Chain A
Amino acid sequence: MEILVCVKRVPDNEENEIELNSDGNDIERDDLVYSVNEWDNYAVEEAIQMVDEHGGTVTVVTVGDEESEEVLRREMAMGAEKGILVSDDAFENSDGKGIATILKSVVEKGNYDIIMTGAQADAGAAEVGGMLAAMLDLPYASLVNKIDVAGDKLNVGREVEGGDQEMNEIELPCVLSIQTGINEPRYVGIRGIRKVASVEIPSFSASDLGLASDSVGEAGAQVKKVDYFLPDLGDGAEMLEGSTEEIIDKLIEMLKAKGGLQ
C-alpha cells in the first residue's frame, strides 16, 4: 500500500495568545514556534500503522519554505519512509485551490493508493483534501476517524454530528482527511529526528512539477486574505469586575433571574 500524507508546518499557538504585527497584515510570528499540524500528525500515524500491517511505504509531502523540512523530518522520524519538499517563491500566498493544484502534481508523479490530509490546519478551512480528490477524480471522505482495509476497498468511519460514526465503503485509490483521535500518535524525540537528519529529501519547484505560474500562488488565488484583526473582546459579554465576592453576588443574582439555580 503506497500512502502519501500531506502535512503542513503551522504555528503552535495553543498556550500563547496570538498577537498581530504592527501592520496588522499578519500575526506576530517572531515569538511563535512551529510544529506539524496536529491533524496531519494523526494522519501520518495512521498511515504508518496501515503500512506496518499491510506493507508498502509512507511518503510525506509539504508545500512550504525550506524551514518546512523540519516537519518532514519529524514525520520521517515517526516512520514515514520518504519525504518530499515542494518549495518555490511562486507558491507564496496560494489559496486552498492553489495548494491542491500543487499537491495534485505531486500525486501524479507517484503511484499512491491512499492520499491523506489532516481534516484541517491553522486556517481552519478543511478544504485541501476535498479539492485534491475532485481534481484527481478520486473518491473522498472527510473527518475520517477509522480505517479498515476490506479487500481492495476500505471501510472508513467519519465523525459526524452528535459524536456518531458514519461508516462508508470507499474504493481505492482515494483521498481521506483525517480527524484527531483516530489513533494515538507515537512520540518523536530529538534523537529520532537526528537519526533521519541525513536522509535526502528531494525538493521540487514549480517548474519541476510543470506548474504554470498563474495557476498557483498569489496570481492563481481567487481567495485572498486582506488582513488579520482581533475579534472584538467581550462583545455581548458583560464582564463582571470587582472582588471575587462582589462578582459572585452579582452572578448569583443573575443566575436566579435566568433560572440557573434550581
Chain B
Amino acid sequence: MKNSLRELRTGKGWTQEQLGQALGVSRQAVNALETEKHDPSLDLAYRIAALFERAVEDVFDNPHA
C-alpha cells in the first residue's frame, strides 16, 4: 500500500529503529511498511497516524477511493 511513512519519518529525523520503538514494532516491520511489502492492520495504521498527528488517509493512500 502506497504511503508517505518514509517522508514523515525522515521529516522528524528518526531512524527506522526509532520509529519502530515508538510504534512497538520491529525495524523490519517499519522497513516493510515503507517499501510496501506489508499492508498494516487497521490498529497499526491508526497508531502510525496518531504518532504523526495525521489522518490515516494522509499517511496511507486509499486504494479504493
- Asked whether A and B interact, the reply is no
